[in-house]
């Protein structure tokens, strides 16, 4: 099993072209499934990709990055409508 953890989005997109690539963001769900008979594949860990992290307030709403952690959400200065996330 190969685990790739690029820091640049362009590198992640190149790796994503691998035929057996699986996206993970930490692997909390993937690794237990692997023990139950999941196949070994190329894992693309998104945790270090800068563009996949962070929170931004945009015109259309709030954008939560796919690799954002709960700790980051708790520390974020979000509008009151998001208090239930903390």
Give me 64's structure tokens. 């939560």
CA distance 60 to 37: 42
Q: Domain residue spans in the chain? A: 3-78
- In this prediction, residue 14 carries a pLDDT of 94
pLDDT tens readout for residues 30-64: 777 777 665 667 889 999 998 898 899 889 989 99
- In this prediction, residue 26 carries a pLDDT of 76
Count of residues in the chain: 86
Give the CA angle between residues 57, 61, 67 to the nearest 5°: 65
pLDDT tens readout for residues 16-35: 988 888 888 877 777 777 77
pTM exceeding 0.75: no
């Amino acid at each position: 099993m190969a685990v790739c953890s690029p820091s640049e989005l362009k590198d992640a997109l190149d790796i994503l072209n691998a035929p057996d690539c699986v996206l993970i963001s930490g692997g909390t769900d993937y690794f237990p499934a692997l023990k139950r008979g999941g196949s070994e594949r190329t894992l693309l860990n998104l945790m270090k990709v800068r563009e996949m992290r962070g929170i931004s307030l945009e015109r259309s709403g709030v954008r939560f990055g796919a690799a954002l952690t709960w700790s980051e959400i708790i520390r974020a200065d979000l509008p009151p409508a998001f208090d239930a996330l903390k």
